[in-house]
């Protein structure tokens, strides 16, 4: 009989360039909560970037490009995400080779999207988490509404859950 104490989150083993492979997991709800609490401004900027990319046919179109933009504009947040999904707090603040960062983030995003039931669902979860974080915060709340107003999760085939 399976119990929850036996549960292990799905992982993807990635080569780390030193002859080893190490596990990467998807983001957990606790991770997303920490990111919203500690990096709300960055997440709002990423949301705005994502919304703009959805409108711009010539904009960033693949995962590698998106991760590169995030790495350049938000390196501390990226480092924190990497430490979370590798379950290695010691990596927070450390700079890893770009190829390794890309492999870690791509594996984690893949697992996170799969766990959430698809990109549309993950997008709705993130939007709702950010909206809850800024609710009642006046100007910040209005800024988020301005960012999200032209974009809805219904466009991704999902209905927004309030």
Chain segment 49-88, per-residue pLDDT in tens: 766 766 665 554 566 777 777 888 888 999 999 999 999 9
The residue ranges of every structural domain in the chain are 26-156
CA–CA dist 64, 136 (Å, integer)? 35
- In the block, tokens 């707090």 appear at 89
β-pairing, 21-25 with 11-15? antiparallel
* Backbone dihedral angles phi then psi of residue 41, each to the nearest 5 degrees: -60, -45
Instruction: Report H helices in the chain.
Output: 29-38, 40-55, 63-73, 75-85, 98-116, 119-134, 139-148
- 107 token code pair: 């594996």
Q: Tally Cβ neighbours within 10 Å of residue 155.
A: 11
CA–CA dist 85, 112 (Å, integer)? 10
Chain segment 15-32, per-residue pLDDT in tens: 998 999 999 999 888 888
Chain segment 119-130, per-residue pLDDT in tens: 777 777 777 777
């Amino acid at each position: 009989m399976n119990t929850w104490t036996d549960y292990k989150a799905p992982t993807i083993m990635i080569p780390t360039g030193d002859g080893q492979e190490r596990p990467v997991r998807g983001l957990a709800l606790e991770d997303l909560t920490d990111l919203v609490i500690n990096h709300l401004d960055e997440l709002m900027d990423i949301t705005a970037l994502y919304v703009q990319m959805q409108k711009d046919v010539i904009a960033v179109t693949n995962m590698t490009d998106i991760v590169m933009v995030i790495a350049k504009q938000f390196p501390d947040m990226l480092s924190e995400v990497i430490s979370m999904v590798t379950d290695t707090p010691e990596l927070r603040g450390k700079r890893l080779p770009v190829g390794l960062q890309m492999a870690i983030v791509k594996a984690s995003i893949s697992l996170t999207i799969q766990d959430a039931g698809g990109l549309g669902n993950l997008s709705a979860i993130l939007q709702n988490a950010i909206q809850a974080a800024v609710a009642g915060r006046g100007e910040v709340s209005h800024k988020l509404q301005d960012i999200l107003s032209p974009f809805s999760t219904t466009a991704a085939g999902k209905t927004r859950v309030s």
